[in-house]
Structure 1
Amino acid sequence: MKKRVCMLVFNEVTSDPRVTKEAETLSDKYEVTVIGTRFSPSTASTEQVNGYSVHRVDNILKRKVNTEKLSILTLLRVGASKMVGLLKIGWVALKMKSDVYHAHDFEVLPFAYLASKIHGAYCVYDSHELWVEQRADFPGWFKKIIKGMESFFIRRVDQVITVNQSIARELMERYSLRTIPCVVHNFTKKIGNSIDMREASNISDTVKKKIVVLYHGGYLKDRGLEETIESVKYFPPHVILRFRGKGPLEEKLRSLAEPYIKSGQIEFCPPVPMKQLVKEASECEIGIMPYKPTCLNNYYSLPNKLSEYMMAGLAVVASDLPEIDRLNKKIGFGELFNPSKPTSIAEAIKNLIVDKEYLKRCKNRAKEWALNEGNWEHESRKIVSLYKELFGE
């Protein structure tokens, strides 16, 4: 009989690429069920996806809450809603006897740990980020409580996984762990092959006269999107900035970009399904990641979109942050900048496009790395090995 793996996550599951990739990878050998939450009545409460089962509980928060400014009332409201949702997830997990309870991020960790103890199972903590350091405006008392809780559970689970070296070291030092967490980068799946992408790249180089710089993802606070729009006034006229996504800042960003939208130097495009992100990105030349280090979590971040851009064969301009800098020194995918300075953003783009051969080399290095090492097929071996070790296989 197959070993049973129960994953817990506080989202709708299919919108989380890390959860879906891990579940699909492990489903080749184990019986995997992912318990998540349902925010929309149109989302199925149960379904089979790529070899694993999804079970969603209903969330009581039916209206969107503005979390850009955290008031006590907002914290209490969101907190109460989350707690009810988490209790539901925990209850389903308790009823689902499994061999491993795999907690995706801190919110569900206490429930996964409790279920593992009740059923005599293993517990895996998959820290997608420094959860307590997500926002600079989290109150001190709130951070202190979360740190205390995370410290208690992280020392008692059987395995800890996280997304990059900086966060792994931080978790180890912060909570005095005996061993450093296993790093499983959240790289995208391999798409296409070098011949296909090289042909697409050559078409782009010879046919297009304009250089398209792409940002795809959420229009969210602290992502440097306002500064990126301001940087356009320093762009050469043949450089186009393309936004593809959605989020609470969209109206504000469109307002800031209005003169450039009229002149054709900024484009806003509708979001596409996750599976089409890389294909759509491959129509551009450069990907941009202007994340601002407003909190420790952002400072240590290595966003998914970096892997997606490189899989699409794009050169990249990005914030000068430790994990991004580490990877750029290894690969040479592009240029780094200060995300708080529009002139720095523009300068990085100009440095990349001033020499066509340099731009081409960056694109080729990015794609070659993505196909050979920076992909989920390569990275997923780590989680497979971790589970084999867990079960003594």
Structure 2
Amino acid sequence: MQAQSPSILLLAYYLTRDDPRLSRQVRLLRSAGQEIQITAAGIYGHRLACADSHVIVGAASPRRRIWLAPFLARWERISALHRLNERRWDAIIASDPETLIIAANLAARHNAALIYDAHEFYEDVAGGSDGRTSWVRRVHERYLPMARHFFVPSATIAARYAHLYPGAPPADVLANAAAHRRSSNCDSRLRSQCGASRSDRVLVYHGSIGAGRGLNELISLFERGGPPGWKLALVTSDFGFEMQRRISACREITHTSRVPHEELADYLSGADAGIVPYALTCFNHDAALPNKLWDFGAASLPCFVTPAREMSTIVRVFGSGFVLPADPAEWGAFIASTSSEALAAAGRAALRFFSNSQWDEQGRVFASKVLAAAASLSVKTGV
């Protein structure tokens, strides 16, 4: 019996160009496997920026403002799911609770290995409702025991999942270690856009503007004058009208559009420090290791973080940043008191954190388990 090339489906609800975790997974599988077929599929989204991977997308424009939009979106989702069902799969990786349901049913139909990559602790996220939490728990209770392998972004989240779902496979940690080339540290675009002088320091936040990200507290800090000599750069998608009005009224804040992932490390290197101001109002933020830590590390930027257990442990162990006071009212004085020497030392440590072989090893574990599961199924279905 001759084995066919293993066919792997990476299934995400929102498939976005700049999702570093999904892009990294495709790269890990590509670099570790030979003669494999990888397809990234999304119910909503755009083409994932991964070389040599096929893409199937459902409703690419869920916000189209025409009366037919809901009907077209539903038709496109159904069409995408039909196309998925017509293919042969050896391993299916689900990236969130919504796609876990689809993936589990596809895996059962195709006798494929089901793999669940929980990007976060979905049961307790910022802005989540009790109804959403109950729904996620029902999904996990039903489908997690069906998974061949289970990956989570931190050890703290792995422990919580093990406590809640003893029937699930033991979770392996796959950190959000973003794939970057090291920055050349000579990019001046960000400083120019901020109008920063030689004596100014630039603090940068990049990423989502979702609930609990601490952006309101960060903007309020600079509305009150901010740390003397510092400017704030927000590299995000568009804010709502009221928040945009506040940003425009504060001359120490600059809002720029998000940049392509392949340019991010160079672009961020124009700042003096990064910040992850997550509010500790949910377990997910307390236990998260966001990809921003690696983005800043690739740019040799020290990072200010709130006292979340996982982030604060990282910056203390590696010396790659500073843990902010719990009270946002104290952030300004804390940042202002950080010396140039301390910032430079933490920046060098941030690059060491980014380059740590531990993250490569986690990637190798992920790739080896997925490829072994896919290969075992492709042998069974070979001709």
Confirm or deny a common fold (TM above 0.5).
yes
Matched, 1:27 2:30: yes
Counterpart selection for 2:366 from 355, 371, 383: 383
Measure the CA separation in 1 of the matches of 2:356 and 2:102: 38
Match of 1:109 in 2: 100
Matched, 1:153 2:143: yes
Aligned pairs for 1:104-253 within 5 A: 104-138=95-129, 140-177=130-167, 179-192=169-182, 196-197=184-185, 208-232=198-222, 233=224, 235-249=226-240, 251-253=241-243
Task: Compute the TM-score of the two structures, normalised by the length of structure 1.
Answer: 0.81
| Native 8 Å contact 2:8 2:91 kept in 1 | yes
Q: Please give the secondary structure, in 2, of the residue aligned with 1:189.
A: coil
Measure the CA separation in 2 of the matches of 1:220 and 1:115: 31
C-alpha displacement at 1:142, in angstroms? Answer: 3.9
If asked which structure has higher relative contact order (CA below 8 Å, sep 6+), I would say: 2
| Native 8 Å contact 2:238 2:257 kept in 1 | no
Measure the CA separation in 1 of the matches of 2:258 and 2:207: 8
Matched, 1:348 2:334: yes
Q: Given the superposition, is the C-alpha separation of residues 8 and 84 from structure 1 closer, same or farther in structure 2, using an over 3 Å criterion? A: farther
C-alpha displacement at 1:35, in angstroms? Answer: 1.4
| Native 8 Å contact 1:335 1:348 kept in 2 | no
CA deviations on 1:72-114 (whole Å, 9 max, x unpaired) are xxxxx99x99987765554332221111111111111111111
- What amino acid is the match of 2:365? K
CA RMSD of aligned residues (A): 3.0
Matched, 1:36 2:50: no
- What amino acid is the match of 2:279? K
Identity of matched residues, %: 19
CA deviations on 1:287-318 (whole Å, 9 max, x unpaired) are 01111122222222222112101110111111
Measure the CA separation in 2 of the matches of 1:267 and 1:135: 25
Counterpart selection for 2:18 from 11, 15, 18: 15
- What amino acid is the match of 1:3? P
C-alpha displacement at 1:48, in angstroms? Answer: 9.1
Counterpart selection for 2:310 from 305, 323, 336: 323
Task: Compute the TM-score of the two structures, normalised by the length of structure 2.
Answer: 0.83
Measure the CA separation in 1 of the matches of 2:299 and 2:334: 20
Q: Please give the secondary structure, in 2, of the residue aligned with 1:10.
A: strand
Q: Please give the secondary structure, in 1, of the residue aligned with 2:8.
A: strand
Match of 1:74 in 2: none
- What amino acid is the match of 1:322? R
CA deviations on 1:255-309 (whole Å, 9 max, x unpaired) are 2344431xxx222223212221111100011001111122222222222112101
Matched, 1:270 2:273: no
C-alpha displacement at 1:184, in angstroms? Answer: 0.6
Q: Please give the secondary structure, in 2, of the residue aligned with 1:6.
A: strand
Measure the CA separation in 1 of the matches of 2:102 and 2:262: 31
Q: Given the superposition, is the C-alpha separation of residues 272 and 48 from structure 1 closer, same or farther in structure 2, using an over 3 Å criterion? A: closer
| Native 8 Å contact 1:218 1:247 kept in 2 | no
Matched, 1:306 2:266: no
- What amino acid is the match of 2:333? E
Matched, 1:54 2:55: yes
Matched, 1:373 2:361: no
Measure the CA separation in 2 of the matches of 1:367 and 1:155: 38
Match of 2:194 in 1: none
Measure the CA separation in 2 of the matches of 1:272 and 1:142: 32
Counterpart selection for 2:346 from 349, 354, 362: 362
C-alpha displacement at 1:59, in angstroms? Answer: 5.5
Matched, 1:256 2:246: yes
Give unpaired runs (5+ residues) of structure 2.
192-196
Match of 1:295 in 2: 282
Matched, 1:3 2:9: no
The alignment of Structure 1 onto Structure 2 pairs a total of residues equal to 359
| Native 8 Å contact 1:132 1:146 kept in 2 | yes
Measure the CA separation in 2 of the matches of 1:58 and 1:123: 24
